[in-house]
Chain A
Amino acid sequence: MKLLRLTATATLTALALTACGGEKIGDTPAAGASSGAAACGTFNLAVNPWVGYEANAAVIAYVAEKNLGCKVTKKDLKEEIAWQGFGTGEVDAIVENWGHDDLKKKYIDEQKTAVAAGETGNKGVIGWYVAPWMAAQYPDITDWNNLNKYAAQFKTSESGDKGQLLDGDPSFVTNDEALVKNLKLNYKVVYAGSEAALITAFRQSEAKKTPLIGYFYEPQWFLSELKLVKINLPKYETGCDADAAKVACDYPEYVLDKIVSKKFADAGGPAYQLVKKFTWTNDDQNLVAKYISEDKLSADDAAKKWVEANPDKVKAWLAQ
């Protein structure tokens, strides 16, 4: 027994040492130390956890690496923590920011560790949505005045004797409780708690033709899978949402923008110039988001595909 094992191992050892060659590590030059990195240096890019953001980050990172020779370090972080990273020098840029006036006040005005770097070109739309089958079957549901008529249909185990209005991820600011109250709607806001919960709910609603009304937003990769229909709330006018408790109007259109660390902006390197000039449309973003989410490309491959199809847009970001 012992002998057998010894022989076996001896054979294996001999085999390993002599017979198998294969490519040796170190024969080829190491991949990391390519030239050109010196001009740009390391670029710390925060990646917030939603696919639309990932699309922005993917394209910017791809261009920064391929065209500018930067070494891009992507950091997966929630927004709040990404903003903190400006102060500690661990994050250079956030490339899709939704509002966050409190964070702007804290980090841009008070601590002065961050600066705004312009719009991304994406328009953020927030509102109440229903699945397409509902809008087709009940065309007048898209007018908020008719919502009470349908309240009973939206009843669930969570909403008591009222209709359920499903709200989502706590990251997004919502006026929905005030809206329900001030518009005298017979609804109860139920918090799904995550984007995954919202999307699953809408998917089920369409697949099983079950009534569902909920908070949603664009740009969003899911809209390329299922075209949700927006409910028209009373039109937004400047200042109608000034008092959070008295809001009775639709959400404003959010202008999504980019935030960078002050140090990064002051240094003014090529990566900063790229971030500053980067802008595209909701359709652009949704396309890259679709590559990532539905076609399951890696972020890098998705970016490559889009960049190669849109050389003009990329050229404009790189122009001096």
Chain B
Amino acid sequence: MAATTVPLQRTWRRPGKPVLVAGVLLAWVLIWLPTRGLHTLGLSPADLTPLHHWLNDVNDTVGANRNSSPIFLYFFNEIRAAVDSLVTLLQDLIAQPSYGRPVPVLGWLGVVAVVAYLSWVFAGWKPALLAAAGFVFFGLQGLWEESMDTLALTLGAVLISLLIGIPLGIWAGLSDRFHRLVTPALDFMQTMPTFVYLAPLTLFFLIGPASATIATLIYAVPPAIRLTAHGIRSVPRSAVEATESLGATGRQKLTGVLLPLAKRTIILGVNQTIMAALSMVTIAALIDAPGLGKTVVKALQTLDVGTAFNAGLAIVVMAVVLDRVTTAAGNRVRTTGRVQRFRKPLLVVFGVVAAVCAYLSHTYFWAAEFPDDFAIGSTLSKGADSVALWAQEDLSTTTEAIKNAITYALLNPLEALLVESPWWLVGAVAVLLAALLGNLRAVIVTAVCVAVLIGTGLWQDSMTTLAMTIVATAMVMILGVVVGVWMGRNRLADRVIRPVLDAGQTMPAFVYLVPFLALFSATRFTAIVAAVVFAAPVAIKIVADGVRGIPATTAEAATAAGSSTWQMITKVQLPMARPSLTLAANQGLIYVLSMVVVGGLVGAGALGYDVVAGFSQGQLYGKGLAAGAAIVVLGIMLDRIARASSPSKGSNQP
């Protein structure tokens, strides 16, 4: 449809392309009819291939040599000790009884004061108030200690992420070669399900905060590297050339021009790293990471929706506070020019107040332990419970109907086509599509991906997962366009919806699994809905941003020419926001894939189940690892085909 409405863009190089694509798809269905059920490479949940056995053996060998190999004694153990002491230090400081005291070094009053003070210094009044309110809220929820444990772990992971990520990001920003080398590795780190490497991590780094921090780190460091590199690469050439002409050394160029100009993007990277770290809280709880994640996981065991919600809400609040503070700090970097007259004395005065609060919380019990007289945690969880119950009882008939409609009309036919086609047919279609939409590179990547999928021994499961991924990504894009355009056109809508989107992105999936299961049963559709809740916010935000980024003059010209609202959206705003739409689809897809494992917990089966099973059962470990790899490969394949078909080829990778 886009091809006919947007003649200006060089979307299709040959006019016949949509026809060709349709032809390929039609041919697929026609060949599928007589061949369905042949060569589908099925593998039942308990069966293993030689590759899976071999991966098991590797895992066993590592475990058996844990205590004798020098690599462990002098390398992994050292890393572990360093990470462990950092996290323990942070915990002693704010979360756990330490140094022979019954309470941490800083009590609640001190933490609130210090956080508010730092937020004020770096971000301003509003974020400081928000931070103070948010932190007091943790105490009111009755989750002070858990929240501080989570904060300590998050800070530890973020600090190390930045220590590693910013230098690597600078390197990737300066060297094209390193950038090409590191990008696929970062893709891999972000799409490989965490469940796959949790067990090996505890083998390498033992059980405890160190392993949890490193697991978090693996997921959280890529944004820091990517955005630092992006920031350095976006520095205008003219600025760099100017310094070069003045004879600056490489070091001077970096510290004098590149880093200052890239500062805002780097801070955005810090922000994204914090968000990623927080989203790992519940997963890390499975290897004994302390904090809010434990509360969520324990509540899930007894299907206690209210308690899980209470803890999940604390995670959301922490994410929102940290997001707003770092974003405001990032924006402030640009406007450091106007220093207020009162700032210096205020810095001192508030510094003294914060120090006094810290001292008090170090010395007196009332300032150290949050008083539980005002606890609202149980009220909150009771409220959440009754809402969940109401939804389950009164809505589930409707939701069952929606589930059935989408499953029978969309998901089942698509899955039948993908799963029951012979592997060579699906492979041929994928390669043909890559050839039609993209270039030789896309063809090669697709062919390799198909081969790897077959190699994992999980072809059929991959196809089942692929069908779900396509449906979920389509739903994400529909939501992204509808809500994103609305938010982009309407400031008020943006202000109201944005916190909801933040909650969708940071509320741990474990919290809403139980209500969703009641609404949609243990089905593939539940997995799709969970994925949409997580992935739609990012798509919506990107689309809204794109729509808002359209120059005002263009919109005014269209209005002057007498466009209706509908024409305005379809003829001007959407076509002009096209790069944003592509980016939204790409990010939406990655987010959907990162939820495949959660889908495995709610009845989606396929790759998600394989990964969870591999985490739970020793003899399925290798299969779980292969399934994790299959998820990564699916992501690469879909991304390459989709990106090859977009007008701005890959230039919008953040």
List the interface of chain A (C-beta within 8 A of B). 1-2, 5-6, 9, 12-13, 16-17, 20-26, 28, 30-33, 49-51, 54, 75-81, 83-85, 87-88, 90-91, 100, 102-103, 106, 110-111, 156-158, 166, 169-171, 173-174, 177, 190-201, 203-204, 207-208, 221, 244, 292-294, 296
B353 touches A81 (CB 8 A): no
In Å, the complex CA distance between A88 and B604 comes to: 35
In Å, the complex CA distance between A177 and B44 comes to: 9
Q: Is B203 located at the chain interface by the 8 A CB criterion?
A: yes
Q: Which residue of B lies closest to A91 (CB)?
A: B207
Q: Which residue of B lies closest to A33 (CB)?
A: B100
In Å, the complex CA distance between A103 and B368 comes to: 45
B408 touches A244 (CB 8 A): no
Give the interface residue-count category, chain B.
35 or more
Chain A proximity mask over B206-245: 1 for CB below 8 Å, otherwise 0: 1110000000000000000000000000000000000000
Q: Which residue of B lies closest to A47 (CB)?
A: B288
**A74 smallest CB distance to B (angstroms):** 9
**B472 smallest CB distance to A (angstroms):** 16
* Given A84-B63, A200-B514, 16 more pairs with CB closer than 8 A: A5-B349, A9-B349, A13-B352, A26-B101, A75-B208, A76-B288, A81-B287, A88-B67, A90-B206, A102-B617, A157-B408, A170-B616, A173-B617, A192-B602, A194-B612, A204-B521
A170 touches B101 (CB 8 A): no
Contact residues in A for B404 (Cβ distance below 8 Å): 157
List the interface of chain B (C-beta within 8 A of A). 44-46, 60, 63-64, 66-67, 97, 100-103, 198-199, 202-203, 206-208, 285-288, 294, 297-298, 300-304, 342, 345-346, 349-350, 352-353, 356-357, 360, 362-368, 392-393, 396, 403-404, 407-408, 412, 513-514, 517-518, 521-525, 599-605, 608-609, 612-613, 615-621
Contact residues in A for B396 (Cβ distance below 8 Å): 204, 208
Contact residues in B for A195 (Cβ distance below 8 Å): 301
B45 touches A194 (CB 8 A): no
B301 touches A194 (CB 8 A): no
A81 touches B46 (CB 8 A): no
The 3 closest A-B pairs by CB, nearest first: A170-B613, A293-B302, A192-B522
Contact residues in A for B44 (Cβ distance below 8 Å): 177
A87 touches B63 (CB 8 A): yes
6 pairs, CB–CB < 8 Å, chain A vs chain B: A25-B364, A78-B615, A84-B207, A88-B206, A197-B601, A203-B518
A88 touches B66 (CB 8 A): yes
Q: Which residue of B lies closest to A53 (CB)?
A: B301
A190 touches B356 (CB 8 A): no
In Å, the complex CA distance between A16 and B355 comes to: 12
B365 touches A23 (CB 8 A): yes
Contact residues in A for B617 (Cβ distance below 8 Å): 80, 102, 170-171, 173
A2 touches B366 (CB 8 A): no
A200 touches B518 (CB 8 A): yes
In Å, the complex CA distance between A21 and B367 comes to: 11
In Å, the complex CA distance between A211 and B157 comes to: 47
A81 touches B601 (CB 8 A): no
**A26 smallest CB distance to B (angstroms):** 7
A169 touches B521 (CB 8 A): no
In Å, the complex CA distance between A190 and B522 comes to: 9
Contact residues in A for B360 (Cβ distance below 8 Å): 16, 20
**A312 smallest CB distance to B (angstroms):** 29
Contact residues in A for B103 (Cβ distance below 8 Å): 25
**A208 smallest CB distance to B (angstroms):** 7
B604 touches A193 (CB 8 A): yes
B513 touches A196 (CB 8 A): yes
In Å, the complex CA distance between A142 and B364 comes to: 64
A75 touches B207 (CB 8 A): yes
Contact residues in B for A111 (Cβ distance below 8 Å): 63-64
Contact residues in A for B392 (Cβ distance below 8 Å): 204
Q: Which residue of A lies closest to B99 (CB)?
A: A30
A156 touches B286 (CB 8 A): no
In Å, the complex CA distance between A79 and B64 comes to: 18
